[in-house]
Amino acid sequence: MTIPEVQHDRLIELFTTLCRINSPSRQEREVVEYVKGFLRGLGLEVQEDNAAQAVAGNANNLVATLPANISGVPKIFFSAHFDTVEPNPDVKIILENGLLRTDGSTILGADDKAGMSAILEAIRIVVENNLPHGQIQLLFTVCEEIGLKGARALDLSLVDSDFGFVYDSGPPVGAIVSQTPTHDTMEVRLLGKPAHAGVEPEKGISAIEIAAHAITRMRLGRIDEETTANIGTIHGGHATNIVCPEVQIRAEARSRTTAKVDAQVAHMIECFEKAAQERGGHAEIHLERHYEGYQLTENDLPVRVARAAARKIGLEAPMRPTGGGSDANIFIARGLPCCVVGTAMEKVHTHEEFVRIENLARSVDLALAIIREVNQMRP
């Protein structure tokens, strides 16, 4: 199987078309419809599940299947997500010095349309050139950016794959995410007692003071090499002349060692509860495991395939840990072996986000190389 040369102009058009379709979390319907049409035009079977109801959005996950044209090879999937971290309805895309970026007023949406466009272009090349392949599925999800909600809601009865590759990380292209943290979130409600701040403040209990006292006691930020913790939002109070009776806080802790995240969460809860008790208030805390971490080695099948494919096209394929999560966390927890591979997206989640066209094309090359590598697994 000779890998055809990627047509840069066509790839740029596909990527920018996807980026120009506004698709913040829970509002992905337009881009889902575009991708459905694209894939059906290539002859793939395309199905939606019922994720929209579960995520309270307007779109479902997409599962597309390209039937095998050779026998005896594993069934694989490629995955990316439709949603972006914020709306960009008026994105202005600039092509300059081999880079695609915006004018700085919005995000580009390369997370994860760089991953999605590379997968789509690779499938288009496979179909147009009648390249040999086993069954390939595409798992495209909604609401990844707000808690991997689409992947959680994915109808697994539509999935028939042995293992897969999630295109949702930055360069170098072909890098493998080997380890991710377990991520816990907490919603904290600190309750005090209102009173007139100018007449009888001593009769009140300030929830803001409780919060301040708790937070100043906490270990936050970088705890160690693999553990972090953060207070993300604080809301409370109505007026300067009222002793604040309630504060709501959202916080998180992550670690690549589960025992460490458990210890950090216990420490944070203790700080909130002790501060409330000392001041005569009350703490209500709701804890949720956002996702479980995972650890892959060079011997795991998706990793072996991806690294072998990458090296055969001149990529180094390093393995690296990360402090974030992706749909792969959910897929692995739900019994779908996979690995996250590096793509062309850079400075994601910022208005300085960009992609290098060369890296975008190399992401396509990598998908084609993976398909070729899987073909060689025939007995």
Active site residues: 83, 144
| Number of other residues whose CB lies within 10 A of the CB of residue 19 | 26
User: What is the per-residue burial (b if ≥16 Cβ within 10 Å, else e) of 277-288?
Assistant: eebebbbebeee
Rounded to the nearest angstrom, the gap between the alpha carbon of residue 198 and the centroid of all alpha carbons in its chain is: 48
At residue 274, the 3 state secondary structure works out as helix
Give CA angle at 64 (59, 65), nearest 5°. Answer: 165
Category of 40 on φ-ψ map: left (φ > 0), alpha (ψ -120 to 50) or beta: alpha
Owner of token pair 């795991």: 300
Q: Where are the alpha helices (DSSP H) in the chain?
A: 8-20, 29-41, 51-55, 110-128, 149-153, 207-217, 258-278, 301-312, 327-333, 357-375
Which DSSP string corresponds to 219-272?
--EEEETTEEEEEEEEEE-S-TTB---EEEEEEEEEESSHHHHHHHHHHHHHHH
User: Which residues share a beta bridge with 193?
Assistant: 205
How distant, in Å, are the alpha carbons of 18, 21, 61, 136, 327 from that of 45? 21, 23, 14, 11, 22
CB neighbours of 319 closer than 8 A, spacing ≥ 6? 175, 176, 177, 178, 296, 298, 303, 307
C-beta separation of 347 from 340 below 8 A: no
Provide the 8-state DSSP code for 193.
Answer: B
**What is the number of residues in the chain?**
379
